[in-house]
Amino acid sequence: MLARSQYYLLAALAASFVASLFSGSFNSYFLDVAVTCGINITLAVSLNLINGYTGQFSLGHAGFMAIGAYSASLLTTNFGGKLLPLVGGQTWIFFPLALYAGGVVASVAGLLVGVPTLRLRGDYLAIVTLGFGEIIRVLLQNVDAVGGARGLIGIPDYTTLFWTFGLAAITVYTVWALVNSTYGRGFIAVSNDEIAAEAMGINTTRYKITAFVVGAFFAGLAGGIYAHFKQYIAPQGFGFDKSIEIVVMVILGGMGNNVGVIIAAILLTVLTETLRQFGDYRMILYSLLIIVLMIARPQGLFTWTGWKRKSA
Amino acid sequence: MPPLLELDRVTIRFGGLTAVSELTAHVGGHELVGLIGPNGAGKTTVFNLITGVYQPTSGDIRFAGESLVGRKPYQITGRNIARTFQNIRLFPSLSVFDNVRVAFHLHVKHDAVHSLTRFRAFHAEEKEIAAQTMELLDIFDLGKFRDEPAKSLPYGSQRRLEIVRALATKPKLLLLDEPAAGMNPTEKTELTKLIRFIKDKFQIAVLLVEHDMQVVMGICERIAVLDYGVKIAEGTPTEVRANPKVIEAYLGEEPTPG
Amino acid sequence: MSEFLQQLINGLSLGAIYALIALGYTMVYGVLRFINFAHSDVFMVGAFVGYYAIEKWHLPANSIGGGLLALAMAMAICAALGVLIERFAYRPLRGRSTLSVLITAIGVSLLLQNVAQNRQIGFGPNPKAFPNLFPYSNFHLGALTVSSNQVIVLIVTLVLLAALYFIVNHTRTGTAMRALSFNPTAASLVGINNDFIISFTFALGSSLAAAGGILYALNYPSIDPLMGTLPGLKAFVAAVLGGIGNLPGAAVGGVVLGLVETLVVACGGSTYRDAVAFGVLILILLVRPSGLLGKAEREKV
């Protein structure tokens, strides 16, 4: 017996699989945008667990993505020759294992960032996670074993629509299922009022760490998908601006509103593509849009009864 | 058999200020004790000391014979002490139902993994918790609000919901921090009844911090009076009322309306 | 020993610049309780105004008068820019969650950077060589070498700090600023025009950032639209180090950070130059989150 939500998950996985079978008939531009959408959904929904549901403001999500991307790519690129035969040369076994390894490394990083910084709130946490993201980027730039500033090339193109949207579906299910239980309401309690949450017997530290570890894990997986899609990764692709992009998706979607965040991820991905025709003015328009939207709808585009937070 | 809660020469200093000084007090197993005193006497600080929000500078706090000093707030709640807050601290974005449900947290067996796998035992437990939550809500006449966000409730109902939420943690001792604040006389009378009812129905001890003399004198079996962090009197309501030190402490303060 | 003294002088002049920028962060934090991410880009604009003053508007280079005039122009233009940013981007969000304001600030920062990078309406993306505003020479004191630019940095910083001290402590507006940062509601109740004071704070902070931009460009004479990011982050660290919201703290934090950074580089850690600030930040937040001179704020329960 499966729960109803689990049938939805299976249906989503099946749909991704079917879409994947027909991917040959889509044009490559469409495919490119679709895969980017899927990756961004995974990134935004996983960040929504940290920023939205648990109320911890992380500005370093791209750092976790980078860790996952580099770890998975090193496995498939440098060690693929040795490891692939172990699973009978089957990439459909090898690829998810490599992705998973990337996710685990990223979640360990999530733990390392989470534990010392959890006492910090709001702005401070944002700055420290930003600093963490930058440190990751600078480290990657200076380690020659991973290509330094030139990046990693020759990553096999394992990513398909199935892996991309399968992962997105699993991420959405995980975050949904985690939050929708008596245990999971604790995440929202932490974001609402930490002192009251502690008084209800909720170990706020543990919840925050769980959110960071799970969020980082999926960001790491998304990084792996991204790397095996672009077949090339470089440190500057995982900078501060990527983290901001994900945060903007979460905020526009409405903090702690998964459906809104998914829609926002798709909208912003498509919008970024549309803005390309404006060339040099693209980023100007993008930043203007952020400002205007934050002023006009700070509770998110899709939250009609946005909850009010105490401003610190 | 020691009393349920013992404060043993508890002192806390913030910088140069001694907020609570050498406080010794106790609450028995099924007692309703009041803690009163003028503004700034250190009443809420005592609550924060008991619940682990602050750590005492010196002295010991014991619950059922075990020291609470050095424990975190959530661990103390796990030892069956629950509290409400002077300035209501509900989870504003959660529904009334979820506010209470989340307080069952300490008594649920499922965790993150079970939330994901959602096996039959998980659903059975969630059903059981939902039933208990609704039972509690209905006792306090809040069932009709179950799906409203907590922040949208009227003030009096918010106060009641906060008490219900505290009860959901299944306490042996309930700490109520100025539950009558902001209430009109009718609401205060109802509150008095409610506190008595809770004490009897759930068989628990209650420690009440209150500014409103009428409420305290009406229901407390024993009262301790704090002034500038020092206990200046203790006894039955009649004894305390007659104590010249208490009168002096309250003198100069505007008489509490009510 | 003379090597150490030399590094001390270098560190002091770098720290003075950090201090000027850090003051802006801390002042805005004091009145509005948020991190003004766009501050580092105002710093960048300040440097570019200095560049244009000489190269396009033909102020005399290598002269004290021209240099001071360029400095004054940069401070005035950036003060106006700061006021505009606050008026149009931040004021509509007053009273909203810190989060939305923070994101808006990041948006403003991106906007300034990208407008600056634009070839048609901005400065263009390529680095430009910053002209010598002031007459340049090196002074030798025994084994020590002090450049005139370093001396200028120290003198200008000291003058500006003294002016700021006077404004904050001995004028009505300054008193109102302090009152506002202490308690905004009470401030408006006693008749303080909060909007005006906030605008004034932005003007003050932004003009200091502009001065910082010019002084920075004097010592590191290659400027580009993204030049603000790193000094900005470091100055922010300096503000946190000193205790955010605390004016003397920001000055002290800036000097300390400048010294630490210079000494680390001198001890052979030049590749870690930029990591120093983040290391200091994480350390200070873990050990003493209220900063060196800040007071711990206890949440009322």
Q: Can you give the CATH number for the domain in which C236 is found?
A: 1.10.3470
Summary mean pLDDT of chain C: 89
Query: C171 near C179, Cβ under 8 Å?
Result: no
Distance CA B143, CA B127 (A): 16
pLDDT at A143 (0 to 100) = 83
Rounded Cα distance between B162 and B33, Å, is: 20
- DSSP 8-state code for residue C16: H
According to the model, what pLDDT value does residue B252 have? 56
**Alpha helices, H only, B51-184:** 73-78, 96-103, 112-117, 120-139, 155-168
* Burial of C112 from C-beta contacts in 10 A (0-12 / 13-18 / 19+): buried
CA distance B84 to chain C (A): 11
At residue C254 the predicted structure's pLDDT band, cuts being 50, 70 and 90, is very high
Residue A117 reports pLDDT greater than 60: yes
What is the count of residue pairs from A and C with beta carbons less than 8 Å apart? 103
> How many secondary structure helices (H) and strands (E) does chain A include?
13, 2
Q: Which of A141-150, A202-211, B102-111, C273-282 has the lowest mean pLDDT?
A: C273-282
Q: Which domains does chain B have, with CATH numbers?
A: 1-80+171-258 (3.40.50.300), 93-168 (no CATH)
pLDDT for C301 equals: 65
Quote the minimal CA–CA distance from A288 to chain C in Å. Answer: 7
Q: Residue C123 in 3-state DSSP?
A: coil
pLDDT at residue C1 above 80?
no
Q: Is there a contact between A128 and C275 if contact means CB atoms under 8 Å apart?
A: no
Give a yes or no: residue C152 inside a domain. Answer: yes
* Chain-chain contact of C103 with A251 (C-beta, under 8 angstroms): yes
Tokens of A143: 């380690």
Contact indicator for A227, A72 with CB cutoff of 8 Å: yes
- For the beta carbon of residue C75, count every other beta carbon within 10 angstroms: 23
Given this model, what pLDDT does residue A300 score?
81
pLDDT at A311: 35
Closest CA to C71 of C59, C80, C83: C59
Catalogue the E-assigned strands of C155-252: 222-223
C277 located within any domain: yes
CA atoms within 13 A on the CB side of C244: 22
pLDDT in tens, B64-86: 999 999 999 999 999 999 999 99
Model confidence band, residue C153 (pLDDT cutoffs 50, 70, 90): very high
Residues C32-45: what's their mean pLDDT?
91
* Tokens linked to C120: 């048609």
Q: What is the mean pLDDT of chain A?
A: 90
* Alpha-carbon C63 to chain mean position: 24
- What tokens were used for B145? 């609000």
Q: Distances from the Cα of C66 to the Cαs of C51, C135, C155, C214, in angstroms?
A: 12, 10, 17, 13
pLDDT in tens, B9-30: 999 998 888 999 999 999 998 9
The reply to whether C295 falls in a domain is no
Tell me the pLDDT band of C42, cut-offs 50, 70 and 90: very high
Write the ipTM.
Answer: 0.91
Distance between CA atoms of residues C146 and A194, nearest Å: 53
Does the pLDDT value for residue A24 go beyond 90?
Answer: no
CA distance A205 to chain B (A): 10
Q: How many folded domains does chain C comprise?
A: 1
- What residues of chain B lie within 8 A of the CB of A199, using their CB? 51, 73-74, 77, 82-83, 85, 89, 166
Which among C157, C132, C197 is positioned nearest to C13, based on CA atoms? Answer: C157
Indicate whether C112 belongs to any domain. Answer: yes
Q: C44: domain range?
A: 2-123+141-287
- Write down the pLDDT at residue C273: 76
Nearest chain B Cα distance for residue C298, angstroms: 10
Question: Cα(A216)–Cα(A46) distance, rounded to whole angstroms?
Answer: 7
Within a domain: C296: no
The answer on pLDDT for A22 being more than 50 is yes
Contact of C68 with C283, CB cutoff 8 Å: no
Name the closest residue on chain C to residue B51, using Cα atoms.
Answer: C301
Confidence of residue C185 (pLDDT cuts 50, 70, 90): confident
- Where residue C299 falls among pLDDT bands split at 50, 70, 90? low
Query: Does B69 contact A at CB distance below 8 Å?
Result: no
Q: How far is it, in rounded angstroms, from Cα C60 to Cα B65?
A: 83
**pLDDT for res A174:** 97
Nearest to A287 among C99, C111, C278 (CB): C111
Strands B205-209 and B222-227: unpaired
Average pLDDT over residues A224-240: 94
Nearest CA in chain C to A251: C100
Amino acid identity, position A228: H
Q: Is the pLDDT of residue C28 over 60?
A: yes
User: How far apart (Å, rounded) are the C-alpha atoms in residues B239 and B224?
Assistant: 11
Average pLDDT over residues A174-188: 96
| C183 — pLDDT class (breaks 50, 70, 90) | confident
Nearest to A311 among C98, C118, C282 (CB): C98
Which residues of chain B does A203 touch, with a Cβ-Cβ cutoff of 8 Å? 72, 74
pLDDT of C297 over the 70 cut: no
Checking if the pLDDT of A305 tops 60, the result is: no
Confidence class for position A307, pLDDT limits 50, 70, 90:
very low
Count chain B–chain C contacts defined by CB atoms under 8 A: 5
CB contact under 8 A, A284 and C99: no
Give residue A312's pLDDT band: very low, low, confident or very high (50, 70, 90).
very low
By mean pLDDT, which of A156-160, A298-302, B5-9 is the weakest? A298-302
Which regions in chain B score pLDDT beneath 70? 1, 251-258
C-alpha closest to that of A218 among A269, A164, A171, A286:
A171
How close A131 gets to chain C, by Cα (Å)? 6
CA C130 to the chain's CA centroid: 19
C125: amino acid identity, one letter:
P
- What is the amino acid identity at position B233? A
- Output A30 or C276, whichever has higher pLDDT: A30
- Interface contact A196-B82, CB threshold 8 A: no
Q: Give A118's pLDDT tier (boundaries 50, 70, 90).
A: confident
Mean pLDDT score, A159-171: 96
Q: Tokens 């994947």 map to which residue?
A: A20
**Cβ–Cβ of C285/A283 closer than 8 Å?**
no
